[in-house]
Structure 1
Amino acid sequence: MGERPLIQDVTQDTSTRFVSFTAGSHRFELALMKADYFNDQTMVINLHKNRQALLDLENIMKDGHLEHIFQLSAMEAEELRNYLPDLL
């Protein structure tokens, strides 16, 4: 196999936390990954929906952000929004 040019190739130690909880009528299973590479944000992976986003306290409060990123209803997003500040 020939060489393929890479734009970036970085290896870092990460800290990953796996959290499962029920909020209202919805169950969430998340992986929260922290690394220096992400600056002050946390990579939040919704394991059920196989979707991820870099989140911080500011962008989780933006209207429609969690709904769009994780494909959640407004009610599900609000339930998640209530838990995320303590998890980040």
Structure 2
Amino acid sequence: MGERPLIEDITQNTSTRFVSFTAGNHRFELALMKAEYFKNQTMVINLHKNRQALLDLENIKRDGHLEHIFQLSALEAEELRNYLPDLL
């Protein structure tokens, strides 16, 4: 089998935090991964919905951003938005 060309191949140490919490009537299970590669952002993985995004304090406040990325209702996104600043 021929060798496949890679565009990028980087190995870095990461810090991953697993957080589960309930907000209102919703349960969230997240993995928050920090690495130098992500600069000042955190890779937030919604384990229930199998969706992820690079987030920071600025883009979590953007209207419709969390709703779109994590496929959340406006209420769910607002509940998550209230927790994320302390987690990032």
Structure 2, unmatched stretches of 5+, are none
1:13 maps to 13
Aligned to 2:77: 77
Q: Note the C-alpha offset of 1:47.
A: 0.1
Where in structure 1 are there 5+ consecutive unaligned residues?
none
Structure 1 residue 74: Cα displacement: 0.1
TM-score (norm 2): 0.99
Q: 1:28-67, aligned counterparts within 5 Å?
A: 28-67=28-67
Percent identity reads 89
SS of 1:22 mapped into structure 2: strand
User: C-alpha displacement at 1:14, in angstroms?
Assistant: 0.2
Structure 1 match to 2:87: 87
With normalisation by structure 1, the TM-score equals 0.99
Tell me, in whole angstroms, the C-alpha distance in 1 between the residues paired with 2:2 and 2:80.
45
Instruction: Provide the C-alpha distance between the structure 2 equivalents of 1:31 and 1:2, rounded to a whole number of angstroms.
Output: 36
Alpha-carbon separation, structure 2, partners of 1:17 and 1:5: 32
Instruction: Looking at secondary structure, tell me which structure has more helix per residue.
Output: 1
RMSD: 0.3
Question: Where has structure 1 moved over 3 Å in runs of 4 or more?
Answer: none
